[in-house]
Amino acid sequence: MKKKIFFMFLIFLMLLSLASSEDILKEKTLHTSNRIFAKQSNIKIKSIADIYITVKHNQRYQLPSSVTAVMTNNTKQKVLITWNSNKVDTSKVRKLTFTGKVKNYNKSVKATINIVPVITKIDDIIQVALVGDNIEFPKKVKAIMSDGTTKYVDILYNYSLPSTNMPGIYYCDKGIVSGYDKFVKLKWVIRRYPNVYLNFLTERIKIDFLCPTYDYDNMKNLQYEPIDKSQIDRLKDIFSSEINKYPKSLLSENLDSIIFTKSLIYREVPIGGTFDSMNIYIADDNYLDADVKQVFHHEFNHILFNNYKYLFNEIEWTNCNPNDFKYGNGGLEFLKETIKQGKKDYDFDDELVKDGFINPYSQSGIEEDIAIIAQYLFTNNKRFWELINNNDRLKKKVSLLIDFYNKIDPIFKEEYFKNLQGDSI
């Protein structure tokens, strides 16, 4: 019993000792805190650097609620700041200046916000070279900025350069520009001739010499008879003016040569003209000048439609047709049928005009419908304009086609076509 009382007494002394130790520790800690506080009460803000921020045009931005201050003891601390205005309007490209106040700091803090334009659009690039030229990728490209200005920016292509041994068209789809979220497409046009070449085939040569290599599988089915030399001067005279209806840059980027023959047969069907990716083929057996002109503009429209189809509003075009109308199987199939039936298909058809078509060939395919209107636009045919003015469907199609050409080159407007030298038939 005595031992138990003794042990209890020892435990009491130990607990008493611990309590005293905690009191001593608390007292020491309090003294230490007081000394630190006493020291800190003498520490003040020595300086706060002004702020310089670059913000993108129309990007949301909010001024910081705190800034970094350098203290008199050379430490750094975050301190709250109050700005003269919290609204940062980034809708205009400019520099904005704000002033801020920090408690216990007798100077103002300046914030300069530099709002810079961003790239909104970069057009695809077209590079033209001649066979045998040394070429290299462009290092700069013109960008349209968000403030309406233009700027040349760096561009990078991770591609091998195309060969210039043969004429052809080649695409590099993924040009990279820093700060632009789209790829920039590059189109290489490797031409055989510096200007559109009028090539009169007065004797037989192989088709594969005339067309780009990748077009040969399609063009190998083309047969022709050499043109009569007596037609050369006449055709040169005609096309010296017809070619000039197009801007030089448009021709340079899309047409290498016009190849003249006496006759053309494609897959056993006689045709007046055709095209590959860079050339136009025209048959002329002393045909009417107006017919030869129309063939040229018809076939060139096919080339331009293939190259710039993304600019054409196909939905709006088909909406001009009657609700239950469907195009046929293409121009070649149509010609096969008309030859079998002995029909003529190139005249204006007053009944079809009511439905928005020039003639039966227009109904063979949307590409032919477009190209037939193009051939009359560029020859400024008087009868054509009379039909247009009296038919809302055709009027809408003409408007859509002019819009297509205008997107390719702004020179093409309705007034431009109406001022061209015209044909009366």
pLDDT digits (tens, 9 = 90+) for 188-230: 999 999 999 999 999 998 887 788 888 888 888 899 999 999 9
3-state secondary structure the chain: CHHHHHHHHHHHHHHHHHHHHHHHHHHHHHHHHHHHHHHHCCCCEEEECCEEEEEECCCCCCCCCEEEEEECCCCEEEEECEECCCCCCCCCCCEEEEEEECCCCCCCEEEEEEEECCEEECCCEEEEEECCCCCCCCCEEEEEECCCCEEEEECEECCCCCCCCCCEEEEEEEEECCCCCCCEEEEEEEECCCCCEEEECCCCCCHHHCCCHHHHHHHCCEEEECCCHHHHHHHHHHHHHHHHHCCHHHHHHHCCEEEEECEEEECCEEECEEECCCEEEEECCCCCHHHHHHHHHHHHHHHHHHHCHHHCCHHHHHHCCCCCCCCCCCHHHHHHHHHHHCCCCCCCCHHHHCCCCCCHHHHHCHHHHHHHHHHHHHCCCHHHHHHHHCCHHHHHHHHHHHHHHHHHCCCCCHHHHHCCCCCCC
CA of residue 197 relative to chain centroid, distance:
30
For 322-355, write each residue's pLDDT tens digit.
999 999 999 988 888 887 777 665 678 888 999 9
Does the pLDDT at position 56 exceed 70? yes
Cβ partners under 8 Å of residue 421, min gap 6: 241, 380
Mean pLDDT, the chain, integer: 89
* pLDDT above 80: residue 312: yes
pLDDT for residue 346: 65
pLDDT at 132 over 60: yes
**What percentage of the chain exceeds 70 in pLDDT?**
88
- The Cβ of residue 204 has, within 10 Å, a number of other Cβ atoms equal to 11
From the CB of residue 124, how many other CB atoms can be counted at a distance below 10 Å? 14
pTM equals 0.80
User: Which amino acid is residue 36, in one-letter code?
Assistant: I
Lowest mean pLDDT among 7-11, 119-123, 172-176, 355-359: 7-11
Q: What is the mean pLDDT of residues 160-186?
A: 94
The pLDDT value recorded for residue 421 is 80
Edge-first strand listing for the sheet containing 66-71: 45-48, 66-71, 76-80
Cα–Cα distance measured from residue 304 to residue 378, given in angstroms and rounded to the nearest whole number: 14
Task: Tell me what the mean pLDDT of segment 46-66 comes to.
Answer: 97
pLDDT value of position 37: 37
**pLDDT confidence of residue 159:** 85
* 285 CA to centre of own chain: 42
- Does pLDDT of 99 surpass 90? yes
Residue 255 reports pLDDT greater than 50: yes
Per-residue pLDDT at 29: 44
For residues 298-317, give the mean pLDDT.
97
Answer whether residue 35 shows pLDDT above 80. no
Please give the average per-residue pLDDT across 289-306, as a whole number: 97
pLDDT score for 211: 85
CA 134, chain centre distance (Å): 26
Sign of CA dihedral 76, 79, 85, 90: positive
For range 7-11, the mean pLDDT: 54
